[in-house]
Structure 1
Amino acid sequence: MSRSYGQYCGLAKTLDVVGDRWNLLIVRQLLVAPARYRELQDGLPGIATNLLADRLRDLETGGVVERRLAGEGNAIEYVLTPWGAELREPIEGLIRWSTPLMTSGPGNDRFRPEWLVVALPALLSGRGSATVGIAVDGQMLQVCGAEVSPHDGRDLEAIVRADAAVVLGLAAGALTLDGARGLVEIEGDEAAVRTVFDR
């Protein structure tokens, strides 16, 4: 954190800590789950290993990230500090703000299904309490109220199968289930799916 805007302003001070390129994406990955260095690198396509090391060091110095021993052996994993985890709310605000930028679909951009674990709660806030599975790119997530996580084996009222862009469109309200016929496959209780995706 050698660079500073040198301004006594909350936004400037925040950007001093998390404003460098890749920092908020590292936080996004750690909002999904604590991760080892290699897992972070895999979850951040395009980041150079030396840049990741620098950014983790900066975030650690800034009090956003900390290292801890993983469950087994001497492996180190990175985790958000309680203060760092408070970035969830502003990140969710930025995700909601990004909705017009997402309407064109992914194009050539990379996508990883676990990123939906952070995006969907931001977009589905205040929707129904049904437990619905979302199958994207061979991975199953579960939505239960405002919580989204990898499927933990619990019974699901329904499963939605669709491309990531369609799921994001449904969550953001840019698409409706009726308008997405042919793009969405629903297995199980369609009414449960509607409590999640219909506005």
Structure 2
Amino acid sequence: MSASRTYGQFCGVSRAADLLGQRWALHIVRDLLIAPARFSDLLRALPGVPTNMLSTRLRELEAAGVVERQAVPGQRSVQYRLTARGRGLEPVIDALGRWGAGRMVAPEPGETVTSAIVASMLRTAFAGRAEPGPTTTTVFQVGGGPVAAWAEVTGEDIVVGDGEHTRPDLLIVAGPAMRAFLAGELTPTEFAAAPGVTVTGPVPLLELFSRLFRLPFDLALEEQRNEKQR
């Protein structure tokens, strides 16, 4: 990375910003936290990223020890995956996701939603608190068709993935109401009855989902919305 693109400070925040502050770098890390991907996969999953910029970012992340290349089993192509250092960014990405989501109510015109985004949202929203009783594994899937992601929860542990799961215990298909549900503005009953929402699975699992996954709105945003409603 050229000197003109660095902050020139002996500081951990500056060093991180030198690399991750470059356009699309955080998005690449976000998506690779879900699963390894080929160049073409990343290009498709990041609408708007120029091909040459994606190549540059991947080279920079690889040089920094964040990303590495590996052969795709049974194919002649290669895919990119995060190194141990790269996976160490998971709590950073999740914290940024929670902070940014605080003022997100609905997609703005032109904004896209991908399966990797939904998977990242599920991991970010996971409260990490085990339910009382014996430890069990529950698979929640949000969305269906081209945009879908799942979360497999076992006690306090969570594994997320993009795409459809073969056997989800609970399937949720929803639009804008999903954001209000994650914020705690809708009860499970209200959410299930909202327009455009389809829930397949036992009611107790939807109630469990509402306890395990939360992305509250920013307090200042809540106050602004309440003022408008008065």
Q: TM-score, normalised by structure 1?
A: 0.88
- For the pair 1:196 / 2:204, whether they are aligned, the reply is no
- Tell me which residue corresponds to 2:222: none
CA contact (8 A) 1:124 1:171 kept: no
Instruction: Show structure 1 runs of 4+ deviating over 6 A.
Output: none
- Tell me which residue corresponds to 1:159: 171
- Tell me which residue corresponds to 1:11: 13
Taking the TM superposition and a 5 Å limit, the aligned residue runs for 1:164-175 are: 165-175=176-186
Q: CA deviation at 1:98?
A: 1.2
Q: Secondary structure at the match of 1:27?
A: helix
Measure the CA separation in 1 of the matches of 2:187 and 2:109: 21
Letter aligned with residue 142 of structure 1? W
Measure the CA separation in 2 of the matches of 1:114 and 1:192: 23
Identity %: 31
Measure the CA separation in 2 of the matches of 1:12 and 1:107: 33
2:194 to 174, 182, 185: 182
1:132-152 Cα distance to aligned partner (Å, 9 max, x none): 222245444332323322444
Q: Could you list the runs of 5+ residues in structure 2 that have no partner in the other structure?
A: 132-136, 215-230
Q: Secondary structure at the match of 1:101?
A: coil
Measure the CA separation in 1 of the matches of 2:93 and 2:100: 10
- Tell me which residue corresponds to 2:88: 86
- For the pair 1:98 / 2:110, whether they are aligned, the reply is no
Matched length: 197
Measure the CA separation in 2 of the matches of 1:152 and 1:103: 27
Measure the CA separation in 2 of the matches of 1:17 and 1:59: 7
Q: Could you list the runs of 5+ residues in structure 1 that have no partner in the other structure?
A: none
CA contact (8 A) 2:141 2:165 kept: no
Measure the CA separation in 2 of the matches of 1:121 and 1:25: 15
Q: CA deviation at 1:100?
A: 2.7
